[in-house]
């Protein structure tokens, strides 16, 4: 992993925080171990720890600089922070960002210069948006590490943590940097929504839990993968859980741990049990344990599960529209499902800083579902609702044109395809080739 200044999730020698897989004992059925297997197992235990220790030390030595790529799917922003000095941000926008005018939630990922993890986070966010109806697209902001990662992500060391790292105690300043410098810059240069999520792994996960406890509600959601809650002799477990339980503002917190990171796994489970035992105010919490994951692998599942937990209430699966019989529903049933879904979605969206109206893509998919069932009049009803909700969109007019085309109303189809082209030119986005082709074909055959 490309991180500078070590990883707070790893310690070496006696009492190391993460028991590597080769010393983790798990009961499982199987045949008796033969003598030769025992010999090989003993050799394995002698050789692998030494090799593992060497490789981990090399990782610590060579993880100081960020990786770059000429084809990186993001732009780079530089902040000259009065408090923290020069810092780098990697900002990834949705694929169609330049061809649309909509605004997007912001996902802030710590350890942004861990390029494989940043790519994973971007890919998972995009995949969920493509495959979960109602799930928003995102602007992902990777915050690269400064010269001392551990200092940025920790509170002052106490107990046995004193002397473990060269410097600690910069968490408050780092949180202020993200809130007062990173987010204002991103919001000034990109089309964003108020909805903001913070995601961190290891020391970044510890920092995420710290922010949830000390700055409740500044992020609508926080993902803490493998948080280093052993820090300061685990005193933060009880303290942060109690503070989060009393949160006066709504926030959704997701935490995870793996079965092969012993101390992190134990302390995170303790944190989850403590938080679950308390009567919570406005905070919503979920914990997932991945029994077969090592410390480095928990983000593979944790990022996706965390995003699904935070934005799950927006999923179309929770709406009445998802259960409507589109082949047989009449206009009254459709209207009732739309009104119910609009109401439920608005409540969920309000808690996440998302606009209250049903997303354009949901209404669009419902309209085409009705067209596919040979119900163009009902499809037109939904498309017209989308035009009313998103009059600046290019696509809503194209879809309404398809509805009229399916109903045999060529004149109205042409009118709306022309509106789509005009809206594209007005907003400065490229005219969709499909819209232009349909319009040209209809005009030619009039």
Distances (CA, A) of 34 to 21, 37, 45: 21, 5, 16
280, 286 contact by CB (below 8 A): no
Residue 235 burial by Cβ neighbours in a 10 Å radius (0-12, 13-18, 19+): middle
Distances (CA, A) of 90 to 76, 186, 303: 5, 10, 18
Helix residue ranges per DSSP H, 283-432: 298-311, 331-352, 360-372, 376-389, 395-406, 410-427
For 165-211, what is each residue's pLDDT tens digit?
A: 999 999 999 999 999 999 999 999 999 999 999 999 999 999 999 99
pLDDT in tens for each of the 446 residues of the chain? 333 344 444 332 223 333 333 223 223 333 333 333 333 333 333 343 444 333 333 333 333 334 444 466 899 999 999 999 999 999 999 998 887 778 999 999 999 999 999 999 999 999 999 999 889 999 999 999 999 999 999 999 999 999 899 999 999 999 999 999 999 999 999 999 999 999 999 999 999 999 999 999 999 999 999 999 999 999 999 999 999 999 999 999 999 999 999 999 999 999 999 999 998 888 999 999 999 999 999 999 999 999 999 999 999 999 999 999 999 999 999 999 999 999 999 999 999 999 999 999 999 999 999 999 999 999 999 999 999 999 989 999 999 999 999 999 999 999 999 999 999 988 888 888 999 999 999 998 87
Q: ∠ at Cα 60 (57, 62), nearest 5°?
A: 110
Q: What is the pTM of this model?
A: 0.81
Whole-number pLDDT of residue 68 = 44
H or E stretch covering 1: none
Return the SS3 of 259: strand
Q: Phi and psi for 159 in degrees, rounded to 5?
A: 55, -135
Whole-number pLDDT of residue 71 = 62
Whole-number pLDDT of residue 428 = 82
The tokens 């105690």 sit on which residue?
Answer: 169
The tokens 């694929």 sit on which residue?
Answer: 95
Q: Give the separation between CA 281 and CA 285, rounded to whole angstroms.
A: 11
**DSSP labels, 227-254:** --TTGGGGHHHHHHHHHHHT-SS-EEEE
- The number of C-alpha atoms within 13 Å of 331 and in the hemisphere containing its C-beta is 6
């Amino acid at each position: 992993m490309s991180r500078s200044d070590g990883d707070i999730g790893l310690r070496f020698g006696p009492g190391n925080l993460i028991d590597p897989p080769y010393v983790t004992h798990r009961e499982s059925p199987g045949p008796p171990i033969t003598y030769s297997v025992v010999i090989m197992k003993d050799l394995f235990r002698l050789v692998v720890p030494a090799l593992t220790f060497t490789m981990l030390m090399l990782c610590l030595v060579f993880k100081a600089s960020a990786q770059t790529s000429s084809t990186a799917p993001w732009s780079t922003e530089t902040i000259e922070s009065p408090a923290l000095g020069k810092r780098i941000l990697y900002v990834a926008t949705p694929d169609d960002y330049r061809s649309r005018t909509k605004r997007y939630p912001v996902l802030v990922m710590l350890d942004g210069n861990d390029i494989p993890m940043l790519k994973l986070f971007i890919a998972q966010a995009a995949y969920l948006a493509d495959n979960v109806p109602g799930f928003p697209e995102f602007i992902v902001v990777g915050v690269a590490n400064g010269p001392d990662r551990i200092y940025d992500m920790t509170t002052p060391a106490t107990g046995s943590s004193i002397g473990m790292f060269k410097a600690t105690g910069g968490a408050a300043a780092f949180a202020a940097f993200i809130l007062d410098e990173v987010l204002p810059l991103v919001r000034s240069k990109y089309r964003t929504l108020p909805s903001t999520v913070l995601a961190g792994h290891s020391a970044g996960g510890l920092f995420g839990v710290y922010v949830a406890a000390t700055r409740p509600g500044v992020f609508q959601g926080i993902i803490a993968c493998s948080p280093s809650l052993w820090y300061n002799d685990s005193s933060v477990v009880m303290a942060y859980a109690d503070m989060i339980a009393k949160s006066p503002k709504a926030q959704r917190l997701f935490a995870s741990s793996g079965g092969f990171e012993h101390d992190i796994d134990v302390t995170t489970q303790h944190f989850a049990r403590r938080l679950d035992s308390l009567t919570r105010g406005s905070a919503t919490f979920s914990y997932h344990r991945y029994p077969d994951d090592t410390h480095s692998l928990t983000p593979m599942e944790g990022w996706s599960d965390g995003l699904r937990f935070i934005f799950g209430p927006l999923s179309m699966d929770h709406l009445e529209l998802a259960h409507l019989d589109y082949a047989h529903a009449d206009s009254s049933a459709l209207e009732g499902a739309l009104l119910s879904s609009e109401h439920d979605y608005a409540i969920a969206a309000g808690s996440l800083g998302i606009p209250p109206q049903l997303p354009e893509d949901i209404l669009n998919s419902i309209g085409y579902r009705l067209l596919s069932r040979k119900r163009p009049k009902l499809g037109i009803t939904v498309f017209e609702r989308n035009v009313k909700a998103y009059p600046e969109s290019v696509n809503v007019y194209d879809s309404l044109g398809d509805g009229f085309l399916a109903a045999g109303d060529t004149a109205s189809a042409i009118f709306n395809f022309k509106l789509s082209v005009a809206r594209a030119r007005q907003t400065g986005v490229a005219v969709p080739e499909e819209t232009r082709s349909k319009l040209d074909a209809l005009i030619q055959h009039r």
